[in-house]
Amino acid sequence: MRRFLANRVAMAFLGLFVLIVLFVLAAPLWANHVAHTGPNQTHTLEKLTIGGESRDVVNVEGQPIGPVWLDAGGKFFLGADSRLGRDEMVRLMYGGRTSLLIGVVAALITSFLAVILGLLAGYYRGWVDGLVSRALDVLWSIPVFMLGLALGISLAVGGLKLGPIEVSGGSLWIPILVIGVVSVPYMARPIRGQVLSLGEKEFVEAALAQGAGSLRVMFAELLPNLGSTIIVFFTLNIANNMLFEAGLSFLGAGVQSPNSSWGTMISTGVELLNTSPVLAIAPGAMILLVALSLNIVGDGLRDALDPRAKVRLEARTGTVEPEGTAV
């Protein structure tokens, strides 16, 4: 832990991530007090007063206004988003909430399922492991993105009904569940591997000899040892999920209207790339920053929690103080 805190680069990016989270959390504040508009409100026919001049929010050719910055008191800070004349900055903040929400909740689902499956497969071995591994293999075989697309599209049209669980097609739960489930093999395999190797260790035998039941062994003995792996993967998973969601939404198989996310914003922004590049680049850059921050933080955590990595780097470089993002 101490080592992680001393990793200046990782801490810097953790700070950046926190800033971004605060940024999107501040969406209602900005919307109500600065921009005076909501993310879905259209202003196609309106005019804006800038420095005494009056300008169309959307001109006659359907071209939205570019970044106004602070010239109009914060309204249309980044300009308007399309022919619909919505405030890009407000949309950026609200869209971020969706993206982050999906990323984090999906990661929670993935972690939960991956840990359960990994523990079961690694602990019981035998046919349980065979079954779980085969299932993961099959899931793994379909390129993740295609699978996400397939599920996303199918479910978007009609929604989901699995026993008591019923979700409508337009709900945010669809992309969350799709991404959460599809990412499971990515995390379950390493966990299973670690459980397998931990199982060889004496403390498991000792616990069993003391009469501990399987459940106890799994949760009280094995799980704590998986802690660092889980944390690192969880962090990296959020980044992957956000990239995944953006990709799905970009193509139309993720977040459905009226909801919007950074991915959907890029989709509309790309159409106006040559005239208003900021519309596609702003949300893209946000995703980049979040993914970058989480990746660096995840790496930093991995370095801090893996004693071998540090020692090895030292012996080679002769540095004694904790440093950089290494592996």
Partner 1 sequence: MSAEPLLAVRDLRVGFATEGGPLQAVDGVSFDLAAGEVLAIVGESGAGKSVAAQTIMGLSRSRNARIEGSVKLHGDELIDADDAVLRRLRGEQVAMIFQDPMTSFNPVYRVGAQIVEAIRAHRADVSKSEARARAVALLDSVGIPEAARRVDDYPHEFSGGMRQRAMIAMALALEPEVLIADEPTTALDVTIQAQILRLLGSLNRERGLATILITHDLGVVAEVADRVLVMYAGKVVEQGTLDEIFYDPQHPYTWGLLGSLTRLDRPRPKRLPQISGAPPSLLDLPQGCSFRPRCPHEFSKCPRTPPLEARLADAPDHRDRCWLTPEQKREKRQVGGQIGLEAPSA
Partner 2 sequence: MARFILKRLAGTVAVLFAVSVVVFAVFNVIPNSPPAQRLAGKNANPRLVKSIEEEWGFDKPLPQQYLTMMKKTFNGELTSYEPRIPVDEQILEGIPATASLCIGAAVIWLFFGILFGYLAAVRAGGLLDRLLTGVAVAGISIPVFLLAPVLIYFLSYEIELFPSGGYVPLSEDPAQWAYHLILPWFTVAVLSIGFYSRVLRSNMLDAMDEDHVRTARAKGLGERQVMVRHVLRNSLIPIITLFGLDVGALIGGTAIITEKLFDINGVGAYAAGAVANSELPPIMGVTLYAAFFVVFFNALVDIAYAYLDPRVRLGTAAQ
What is the spatial distance between Cα 327 and Cα 320, in angstroms, rounded to a whole number? 17
In the complex with partner 2, the residue whose CB is nearer, 34 or 167, is 167
Say if CB 148 and CB 179 are below 8 A apart. yes
Asked if residue 162 binds partner 2 (CB under 8 A), the reply is yes
**Least Å distance between CB 258 and partner 2?**
17
Q: Does 14 bind partner 2 (CB under 8 A)?
A: no
Q: From residue 52, how far is each of 47, 48, 55, 72, 119 by CA, in Å? A: 12, 10, 10, 10, 67
CA distance 200 to 222: 11
Interface with partner 2, residue 320, by CB under 8 A: no
Q: What is the DSSP string of 210-259?
A: TT--HHHIIIIIIHHHHHHHHHHHHHHHHHHHHHHHHHHHHHTSSS-TT-
Separation CA 138–CA 136 (nearest Å): 5
Residue 305 binds to partner 2 (criterion: CB under 8 A): no
| Binding region for partner 1 (CB under 8 A) | 310-311, 314-320
Distance CA 79, CA 201 (A): 60
What, of partner 1, partner 2, none, does residue 310 touch, CB below 5 to 8 Å by kind? Answer: partner 1
Residue 320 binds which entry of partner 2, partner 1, none, CB below 5-8 Å type-dependent? partner 1
- CA dist list (Å): 305 to 300, 302, 314: 9, 5, 15
Q: Is 153 in the site for partner 2 (CB under 8 A)?
A: yes
Q: Beta strands of 143-187 (E only): which ranges?
A: 160-162, 165-167
Site for partner 2 in 207-226 (CB under 8 A): none
Q: Which of 54, 210, 257, 274 binds partner 2 (CB under 8 A)?
A: 274
Q: Which is nearer to partner 2, 207 or 292 (CB)?
A: 292
Contacts with partner 2, residue ranges (CB under 8 A): 134, 137-139, 141-147, 149-151, 153-162, 166, 169, 239, 243, 246-247, 250-253, 263, 266, 269-270, 273-274, 277, 280-281, 284-285, 287-288, 291-292, 295-296, 299, 312-313, 316-317, 319, 324-327
